[in-house]
Chain A
Amino acid sequence: MGLFILQIVNGLVIGMLYGLAALGFSMIFKALGYMNFAHADTIMIGAIVYYLLITALNMPFYLAFFLALILTMGYGVFTEKILFVRFRRTSPITFMLVAMSLSTVVKNVTLLLFGPLPHGLSMNYTDAYFMVGGMKISLNNFVILGIALLILLILQLFFTKTKFGLSIRMAQDDPDTASVMGVNVLSTRAATFGISAGLGCVAGMLMGPMFSISTELGTQISLKSFISAVIGGLGNFVGSVCGGLIVGVVESLGATYVSSGYKDVIVYIAGIIVLGFFPYGIFRRVATKH
């Protein structure tokens, strides 16, 4: 019983991080109708910038958290302004190739600057824990879940209560009408890239201290978060987060009760089965297939 609860908690924490990254994917897809395969880099950039601010500049973690978030969001806006905006009328395949190329460039430049060695960031928000059925469950897990939920809440308020948030949503739903109605679609596009990068950054910053920080961090979770976004229904924001949680819990329980060597196999097979029954994703009602 203790093991089961521990694995559920583990699954939810890792799933929440997949969900945050998936949300970033989904947002760009909704706004542009394109897949941004360079999104996973923001996870790595977020974690590396966060690590450098804390270790090299001795910054307290909350300050580093905000600064890294702002820098990574700036990076997201920058990629749109410099690169992606020039490809807004191309085919999805061209856009995909551009994104993949950018991803390779960014990863290799980071590799040159940051080096190939993985680094550890020892940081626990709390040392408290409780025991369930002989298993120690750290409260740290719940702090991470809490931070992620807080970010989602802020995002929700931004999208429903602010004028800019509303205009971003409008431009995502129908850019042509929005532009006729006086919304500056180019700036909402840039904001979407910024927010998407920010979500990746938060996922990276929460994940980095749990694991190791290297240029491979984004690659490792990009496929899982992509699956999460697809299962939840691309373009559906609640679905992306729920998709992430589902992937996280399936992965964790599958590894415990089936086989740890086949952890990834289980996740992907489950993904295929889900898509077999729900071709639009579990949470998606719009009648367009991916």
Chain B
Amino acid sequence: MKKTRILASVLALAMASSMLFTSCGGSDVIKIGAIDPLTGAQAVFGQDSINGKKMAVEEINAKGGVLGKKIELISEDDGAQAAQAATVATKLITQDKVVAIAGAHGSSSTLAVMEVLNKYGVPCVTPGSSSPKITSSGCEWISRGIPDDRLQSKILVKYAGETDGVKKLGVLYSNDDYGKGGYDAAVLAGEEYGVEIVGETFMSDDQNFTTQISKLKDAGCDGVMFWCVYSPASLIAKQMRDMGWDVKRYASPGINNPQAFELSDGAIDGIINTTGFVAADPDEYVQDWIKRYEEKYGIEASQTAAVGYDSIYLIAQAIERAGSTDAKKVQQEIRSTKDFKSLKGMLTINSETGEYECEVRLTKANSATKTFDYIASYTA
């Protein structure tokens, strides 16, 4: 009996002291939370993203940190599941007491995290979520570090109409949130820039697009835009070539994957697509980062790694400007970010909505080198 009592009190003391130490620890470091899909179907993206974030934290700490304190990155895995994202966000805020969160990656995860942000009032920058819903929700704690689908679709329509003189643009989109979002934006942009839009849709696991292609051809389109991920986009390009239909083609950033060249048997050559980050960007800042990243991790630098890296700098600079870790002040500073030097160009955050405002880059698929070559930067 006595033994158990002693054991219990020792345990209680241990727990109390550990709690004491964690709360003490908070004062000489600034904690930033990271939410990424480290496991599950999107693990590839999650790993890239956390690599970028860790690299940014190490660099900032090496230069003396923020407000004279080191940054501590607390990484959590959401498994690309919205419910898990909300759980880990709650954990980061209530137990780890993070100052801000960089995450999540998938749009549905981020939307779930936003519910938690509204409850506790903690600033958050999502590096990877491009759904229009995120900034149109009215949530005051979220900001975005990646161009949204509407902006990219709009810019492609503008480019097709103004630069290539396309009068009637066929839009082939997957029948899901991603595809429909791109199509809706294209319709709006079509009205603005005087381009007639003809839509055709397909199920996301379809492989035969000859019907849709024939219909667009029959409708007299002089350009086609694909709004889907790279596997259907490659097959569409291949089937268009097999059907002998040669028109100007445009694609969502979804096509930006080296695998697309193999899948389409090179048929995506010459397709123009939008992207945030271009590895071939001649900018010295970008090239230097790519070199450091590839030396550190031994893998190719991707857009996901770049946006992860940027998100940490965005938060760190906002904390520095705010001069404190007060949530409201930090959030105000994140939203008043202007001409921030990011890996995607000079970035500005819309102070009302937290929307990403930056130039969008256009690249052109080159099947000889299997790369997406940089053409130009555009603003809407």
Q: Given A117, A210, A260, which contacts B200 in the complex, CB threshold below 8 Å?
A: A260
Write the nearest CB–CB distance from B309 to chain A, whole angstroms: 26
Q: Are B207 and A211 in contact (CB under 8 A)?
A: yes
List A residues 210-225 near B (Cβ within 8 Å).
210-212, 216, 220
Contact at B208–A10, with CB atoms within 8 Å?
A: yes
A118 near B259: Cβ-Cβ < 8 Å: yes
A260 and B263 within 8 A (CB): no
Is A14 engaged at the interface, CB distance under 8 Å to the other chain?
A: yes
Please tell me if B177 contacts chain A, counting CB pairs below 8 Å.
Answer: no
Any A CB within 8 A of the CB of B295 = no
Is A136's CB under 8 angstroms from B244's CB? yes
Contact stretch, chosen from B209-217, B298-306, B345-353, B371-379? B209-217
Contacts of B217 in A (CB 8 A): 135
Q: How many residues of B contact A (CB 8 A)?
A: 30
Residues of A within 8 A of B (CB-CB), count: 28
Proximity string of chain A (135-147) to chain B, C-beta cutoff 8 Å, 1 when within and 0 when not: 1101010000000
Contacts of A129 in B (CB 8 A): 244
Q: Closest CB-CB distance, A9 to chain B, in whole Å?
A: 9
Q: How far is the CB of B94 from chain A (nearest CB, A)?
A: 36
Interface 1/0 per residue, B142-162 and A, CB below 8 Å? 000000000000000000000
With A211-B207, A255-B211 already in contact, the answer to whether A3 and B200 are too (CB < 8 A) is no
Cα(A2)–Cα(B212), bound, Å? 14
Closest to B207 in A: A211
Q: Chain A, 234-257, contact with B by CB distance < 8 Å: what is the 0/1 string?
A: 000000000000000000100110
Tell me, in angstroms, the Cα distance from A197 to B289 when the chains sit together. Answer: 52
- B325 within 8 A of partner (CB): no
A117 and B210 contact, Cβ closer than 8 Å, known pairs A220-B205, A261-B175: no
B263 to chain A, nearest CB (A): 4
CB contact under 8 A between A118 and B263, given known A260-B201, A261-B202: yes
Bound-state CA distance A261–B212 (Å) is 10
Q: In the assembly, what is the distance between CA of A212 and CA of B209, in Å?
A: 12
How many A-B pairs have beta carbons closer than 8 Å: the answer is 72
Q: How far is the CB of A151 from chain B (nearest CB, A)?
A: 21
Contact with B along A107-140 (1 / 0, CB 8 A): 0000000000111101010000100000110101
> How far, in whole Å, are A117 and B259 apart by their CA atoms in the complex?
8
Answer whether residue B264 sits at the interface, using C-beta atoms and an 8 A cutoff.
yes
Tell me the A200-218 residues at the B interface (CB within 8 Å): 210-212, 216
Chain A, Cβ-Cβ closest to B260: A120
Contact of A210 among B175, B208, B234, B263 (CB under 8 A): B208
Q: How far is the CA of A138 from the CA of B231 in the complex (A)?
A: 23
Q: What's the minimum C-beta distance from A262 to chain B, rounded to whole angstroms?
A: 9
Does chain A have a CB within 8 A of B265? yes
A135, B207: Cβ atoms under 8 Å?
A: no
User: B230: shortest Cβ distance to chain A, in Å?
Assistant: 9
- In this assembly, does A263 line the interface, its C-beta being within 8 Å of a C-beta of chain B? yes
**How distant is the Cα of A119 from the Cα of B214 in the complex, in angstroms?**
25
- Is the Cβ of B208 less than 8 Å from the Cβ of A211? yes
- Would you call A263 and B214 a contact (CB within 8 A)? no
Query: Is B201 a contact of A261 with CB atoms below 8 Å?
Result: yes
Task: Select the stretch in B184-192, B235-243, B356-364 that faces chain A.
Answer: B235-243
Distance in Å: Cβ of A281 to nearest Cβ of chain B = 25
A136-B244, A138-B242 known; A120 and B262 CB under 8 Å? Answer: yes
The reply to whether B212 and A255 form a contact with Cβ atoms under 8 Å apart is yes
Interface string of A266-280 (1 = CB under 8 A from B): 000000000000000
A6 proximal to B (CB < 8 A)? yes
Q: A129-B244, A136-B244, A138-B242 are known contacts. Are A260 and B234 too (CB-CB below 8 A)?
A: no
Q: Say yes or no: is B203 at the interface (Cβ < 8 Å to chain A).
A: yes
Contacts of B207 in A (CB 8 A): 210-212, 220
**Given A118-B259, A120-B265, A129-B244, A256–B208 Cβ distance below 8 Å?**
no
B212 pairs with A10, CB closer than 8 A: no
A264 sits at the interface (CB 8 A): yes
Cβ-neighbour of B211 out of A10, A138, A210 (below 8 A): A10
B242, A119: Cβ atoms under 8 Å?
no
Option from A117, A122, A216 in Cβ contact (under 8 Å) with B265: A122
| Chain B residue, CB-CB nearest to A212 | B263
Nearest CB in chain A to that of B231: its residue:
A118
Specify which chain A residues have a CB less than 8 angstroms from the CB of B206 in the assembled complex. 263
Say how far A11's CB is from chain B's closest CB, in angstroms: 9
- Please name the residue on chain A nearest to B172 by beta carbon: A260
Report how far A216 CA is from B41 CA in the complex, Å: 15
Q: Which of B175, B211, B259, B263 has the most CB of A within 10 A?
A: B211
A140 and B242 CA atoms in complex are apart in Å by 10
| B residues less than 8 Å from A14 (CB atoms) | 208
Residue from A118, A138, A140, A252 having most chain B Cβ neighbours under 10 A: A118
Among A124, A211, A216, A264, the residue within 8 A (CB) of B235 is A211
For B214, give its contact among A135, A138, A212 (CB under 8 Å).
Answer: A135
Q: Collect the chain A residues with CB atoms within 8 Å of residue B266's CB.
A: 122
Specify the chain B residue showing the minimal Cβ separation from A118.
Answer: B231
B contact residues around A167 at 8 Å (CB): none
**In the complex, what's the smallest C-beta–C-beta distance from B294 to chain A, in angstroms?**
22
User: Within 8 Å of chain B (Cβ to Cβ): is A192?
Assistant: no
B205 touches A216 (CB 8 A): yes
Contact A3 B234 (CB under 8 A): no
Q: Are A263 and B203 in contact (CB under 8 A)?
A: yes
- What 17 additional pairs, Cβ within 8 angstroms, besides A124-B242, A252-B211? A7-B214, A10-B208, A118-B231, A120-B263, A120-B264, A122-B265, A129-B244, A135-B217, A136-B245, A138-B242, A211-B208, A212-B231, A220-B207, A252-B210, A260-B200, A261-B203, A263-B203
Cβ contacts A to B, 13 pairs, < 8 Å: A3-B214, A3-B218, A117-B259, A120-B262, A120-B263, A122-B266, A136-B243, A138-B243, A220-B205, A252-B211, A255-B212, A260-B211, A261-B203
List the 10 closest A-B pairs by CB distance, nearest first: A122-B265, A211-B207, A136-B244, A120-B263, A255-B211, A261-B201, A260-B212, A10-B210, A120-B262, A256-B211
